[in-house]
Amino acid sequence: MGYLTPGVFELLSATGFPGLKVLQFAFAPDGSSIYLPHRYEKNCVVYTGTHDNDTTIGWYSELGAAERNYLDAYLDGVDEKRVHWQLIRLAMGSVADVCVIQMQDVLGLPSSARMNRPQTAQGNWQWRLLPGQFDDTTVQELANVTRLFGRAG
């Protein structure tokens, strides 16, 4: 995480450490982003977003028109009510060796469930999964997509 300098790429190459790919960084309208799934190498970890990002639902609600248009084209149509699952499917279906999805994205939660706001001292790390929130329907959907893309144990 952080700024990607030539030194970062040299370090990854020299050590074999996996790179990090955050889907929320992928949809620049010019299509040049290294975070687009079709540009991944296997030796990486893909996230819909990290603890420092907004939830996918919150992120999508704040996207500019050009980024929304690019995302819509990339997905062949955005379903605003299920955009979190569309990004989860992109991550799961990528060649990345490891796929990490925040529970807030699995549940399709808004910005109020965001974990951390960098450079903000108050109100961070307070979100908690409530009893019953991860219900049988959501468990089954996550299990299905995990199996579909060969990521189950």
Average pLDDT, the chain: 94
pLDDT band at residue 3, thresholds of 50, 70 and 90?
A: low
8-state DSSP, 25: G
pLDDT greater than 80 at residue 62: yes
pLDDT greater than 80 at residue 1: no
Measure the CA–CA gap between 18 and 97, rounded to whole angstroms.
9
pTM of the model: 0.92
| Number of neighbours of residue 77 by Cβ within 10 angstroms | 9
Q: Residue 120: its pLDDT value, please?
A: 86
Q: Residue 4: its pLDDT value, please?
A: 78
Mean pLDDT of 93-118: 95
Q: Residue 2: its pLDDT value, please?
A: 61
Tell me the one-letter amino acid at 49. G
| pLDDT tens-place string over residues 29-55 | 999 999 999 999 999 999 999 999 999
Buried b (16+ CB within 10 A) or exposed e, 80-91: eeebbbbbbebb
| pLDDT tens-place string over residues 143-153 | 999 999 999 97
| Number of neighbours of residue 123 by Cβ within 10 angstroms | 9
